[in-house]
Structure formats: C-alpha cells, structure tokens
Amino acid sequence: MRLLMIGDIVGRPGRRAVKVNLGELKREFDLQFIIANGENAAGGKGITRDVAQELFAAGVDILTTGNHVWNKREAIDYLARETRIIRPGNYPPGTPGAGAIVYKTGRNVQVAVLNLAGRTFMQALDCPFRKADQLIKQVKEQAKVIVVDFHAEATSEKIAMGWYLAGRVAAVCGTHTHVQTADERILPGGTAYITDLGMTGPCDSVIGAKKEIAMERFITQLPTRYEVAAGLFQFNGIVIDIDEETGEATAIRRIQNYE
C-alpha cells in the first residue's frame, strides 16, 4: 500500500495547499491512505470541528496533532467524540481523545496510526518511548501496518525514537518544527524514517507566522500577537510504500510542492 503523511497544516493557506495538491497527488501516486498533522490548522494554532471537517472533505483520512492541540477550547469536547483525530498518547491518563487509532482503508487494509510528543524543550509529558511500547501492544493484534507521528522539537529525540521503533513499525515521521529535513531513509527492519515532514502553509513566513511579527519578537523580546502569514503556500509531506503482508516500508519519498 501507499500512504501520504502531510506536515503541519498551518491556517487557511495550509488548508488551501491541501485542497490544491491532494487530488493530483492521489492520482499520481495512487494513494490509499492520507494522514495529516492538524495541530496548526485553525488560525495557526489548534483545531476546530469546522476546520477538521474541511480537511476530511478534502481527502484527509486521519488527523494527528501535537502541543497546540488544545489551543482552541472546543477541541477538548470535540476530540472526545471525533475518532478520526488523535492527540499525543503520552498526555496524562484521563485526557480527552486517544493517542492511537486503527483505520480500515478503502482497500481493506487495517492501519494503526500513533501520535506521541517529545519532551526535550517541550511540555513535561509521560515518557513517549514507554508509551510507544504500550500503544504498539494495544494495536498490533488489529493492524500489521503501524505508522507513528512523533511530534517533537529536538532532532536527537526524534532520531532516537526512529531507532527505538525500527523493525517494529512501518514509519516514524517527525512533526512540529515546520521545517522539512532531508534525512528520509528506511531503517533496518523496514521502518521509514524522517526527522521532520515540514509544513504545509505560507512559505514567506517564519514557520507559518507573519515574518514581520516574528522578527519583532526576536528583536524586542516583547510578547507579540501571533498571526498566520498570507501569500504563496508550500505543501510538505512524504509518500511511503508499505508491504501490507509484513508491515514493512519499502520506499520513502519526500514531497515539497510550491504554489
């Protein structure tokens, strides 16, 4: 099977990039499953029901998230009901929503998607490595194909997670930095790995934010109001080929499209 994972979708420009690119990518690559990180999809921070519906209608099957998942308060109730959106599984027990989902594709392949968040330079959540073990145990009876979105800041923590899960999952894809890395590879045991998928959002920006505001913040060290940049967009993600009998990845290819 072949699937696409889309890097953090930022605001309206990001959603537009998904709508403009997805149809052609689906045809070109014969994609059977589409996962996207939606933590910045609503106004640059957070996710809402309307925005998620818009992305599902555009062809996204499952949305993963990250540290910005709760920025829009309605997400707290919404994630408790909407199973197609997951949040990092290493939030404290009792947090609304789930950290994993098993999804049946149109061609009847069961795929498990896991979401975890890093702890280096981020919130102090539970250990993502131990949580990964738990979630894999939870889904592996139901799905041979397991894909992980590891939402983390430090490249070292992400690479460590890649090695930790090598041979146990089909893919470990980093998200959160909004900058696509060029280190995609297949780790021993058939695990597709990339440190960061990148961003689907406005290109003339500072990781999605209006560049003037971001510069002012660095220069003055004063708090500034966040605003999503306008203008041209980019679409970042990866396409992975997976042998559905063994659950191993056989190919990984980066996608970097510009308007």
Interface region with Fe ion, contact rule CB under 5 A, candidates 7-15, 18-26, 182-190, 232-240 = 7-15
Asked if 96 and 74 touch (Cβ cutoff 8 Å), the reply is no
Which CB, 12 or 176, lies closer to Fe ion? 176
Active site residue 68: yes
Q: In angstroms, give the least distance from the CB of 179 to Fe ion.
A: 11
Q: In angstroms, give the least distance from the CB of 209 to Fe ion.
A: 11
Q: In angstroms, give the least distance from the CB of 246 to Fe ion.
A: 32
Q: In angstroms, give the least distance from the CB of 214 to Fe ion.
A: 14
Does 40 bind Fe ion (CB under 5 A)? Our answer is: yes
Show the site string, 106-125: x = touches Fe ion by CB under 5 A, - = not: --------------------
Member of 6, 8, 22, 209 binding Fe ion (CB under 5 A): 8
Which CB, 149 or 248, lies closer to Fe ion? 149
Per the residue annotation, which of 68, 151, 176, 178 is the catalytic one?
68
Which CB, 186 or 209, lies closer to Fe ion? 209
Which CB, 8 or 244, lies closer to Fe ion? 8
Show the site string, 161-200: x = touches Fe ion by CB under 5 A, - = not: ---------------x------------------------
Any residues with CB less than 8 A from the CB of 160 and at least 6 apart, and which? Answer: 129
What is the DSSP secondary-structure string of the chain?
-EEEEE-EE-HHHHHHHHHHHHHHHHHHHT--EEEEE-TTTTTTS---HHHHHHHHHHT--EEE--TTTTSSTHHHHHHHH-TTB---TTSPTT-SS-SEEEEE-TTS-EEEEEEEE--TTS---S-HHHHHHHHHHHHTTT-SEEEEEEE-S-HHHHHHHHHHHTTTSSEEEEESS-S--S--EEETTTEEEES---EEEESSEETTEEHHHHHHHHHH-------B--S-EEEEEEEEEEETTTTEEEEEEEEEEE-
Site for Fe ion in 61-80 (CB under 5 A): 66-67
Give the residue numbers annotated as catalytic, written as ranges: 68
Contacts to Fe ion by CB under 5 A: 8, 39-40, 66-67, 176
